[in-house]
Structures are given as C-alpha cells and as structure tokens.
C-alpha cells in the first residue's frame, strides 16, 4: 500500500508533509490481536501493557495516531488497515509476492 501511494504521490507531484496511513486506528495490542485472529491463531494470548511499560528507547506519547487527512484532501484514500493486514498475511502465507508496479 505504501509503495503504491508513494508512486501515486510522485506522479501527482504532491508537495508538503503527508501521513500515508491506512484508514482507521488501533493500539499495538489491537493490532497484535487482529494479526493473530486473521492468521487463525486466536488461541495465542497477548496482554496489553501501558506505553510506560513498553521499554522503548525513546519516550512516546500515550496516543500518537497519524491522520490520513492530508491524503484525503488530495482525493486519495488508503484501504482500511484490517484489509491491508489481511492482504499482507495472505501474501506472506503464499510465499509469493503479488505486488504489481503498473
């Protein structure tokens, strides 16, 4: 998704700061849960932790979701993140790349 959007932005000669993100938002915990669900591994349990407990090298704000609003003003939209995740897992599972660069 990112590569295709960058290609489209270059073709449009888009300028400025643009957050290229799939539609919707989730926490890392929600992302892990959805990844396991879509991979058919629902029995694997994950537990949420706070940002403070994440032990990251840099401090992070408690909520830092990027907005695709700048893309939307250009008439561009990314698919929902769950759909993108599903496509990625399908591609990963097949061991084949189906990416086309038309």
Please tell me the distance from the alpha carbon of residue 28 to that of residue 37, in angstroms, as a whole number.
Answer: 14
Torsion of the alpha carbons at 19, 34, 27 and 23, rounded to the nearest 10? 30
| Structure tokens given for 9 | 């932005």
| Structure tokens given for 36 | 């396991």
Torsion of the alpha carbons at 50, 38, 82 and 13, rounded to the nearest 10? 110
Please tell me the distance from the alpha carbon of residue 67 to that of residue 91, in angstroms, as a whole number.
Answer: 26
pLDDT value at residue 86:
96
List CB contacts of 83: < 8 A, sequence separation 6 or more: 22
pLDDT in tens, the chain (102 residues): 999 999 999 999 999 999 999 999 999 999 999 999 999 998 999 999 887 787 878 887 878 889 999 999 999 999 999 999 999 999 988 655 555 544
pLDDT value at residue 31:
95
33 CB-contact burial (10 Å; exposed 0-12 / middle 13-18 / buried 19+) = middle
pLDDT value at residue 44:
92
């Amino acid at each position: 998704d990112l590569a295709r959007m960058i290609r489209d932005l270059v073709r449009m000669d888009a300028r400025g700061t643009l957050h290229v993100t799939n539609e919707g938002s989730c926490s890392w915990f929600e992302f892990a849960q959805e990844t396991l669900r879509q991979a058919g591994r629902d029995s694997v349990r994950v537990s949420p932790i706070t940002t403070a407990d994440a032990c990251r090298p840099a401090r992070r704000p408690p909520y830092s979701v990027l907005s695709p609003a700048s893309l939307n003003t250009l008439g561009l939209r990314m698919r929902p993140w769950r759909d993108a995740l599903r496509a990625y897992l399908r591609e990963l599972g097949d061991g084949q790349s189906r990416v086309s660069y038309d």
